[in-house]
């Protein structure tokens, strides 16, 4: 299962089900599973540690501030 932590406190857990994440994706079902040769196909591509980076950005030219 995939567990989301905030400051090492579990907040959400997702079970990929019996078929893994690929069948639940919004991809064309005729496309082959790119992780079919993975050691742990059910949880792939999340079978390795990774970090999720969240970003907030604002911008634009609204003439609020002169150049």
User: How many domains, in total, are found in the chain?
Assistant: 1
Residue 41's pLDDT is 82
How far does Cα 21 stand from its chain's mean position? 10
Could you list the pLDDT tens digit for every one of the 67 residues in the chain?
888 888 999 999 988 888 888 887 788 878 888 888 888 888 888 888 888 888 998 877 777 766 6
Q: Is 5 left (phi over 0), alpha (psi -120 to 50) or beta?
A: beta
| Global confidence as pTM | 0.51
- What Å distances lie between residue 19 and 41, 60, 67, CA to CA? 9, 44, 55
Give the domain extent around 62: 1-67
Contact between 23 and 10 (Cβ < 8 Å): no
Query: Is 64 buried (19+), middle (13-18) or exposed (0-12) by CB count in 10 A?
Result: exposed
């Amino acid at each position: 299962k995939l567990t989301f932590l905030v400051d090492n406190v579990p907040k959400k857990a997702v079970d990929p089900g019996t078929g893994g994440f690929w069948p639940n994706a919004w991809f064309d079902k005729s496309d082959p599973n790119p992780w079919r040769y993975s050691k742990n196909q059910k949880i792939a591509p999340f079978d390795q540690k990774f970090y999720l980076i969240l970003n907030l950005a604002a911008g634009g030219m609204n003439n609020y501030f002169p150049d």
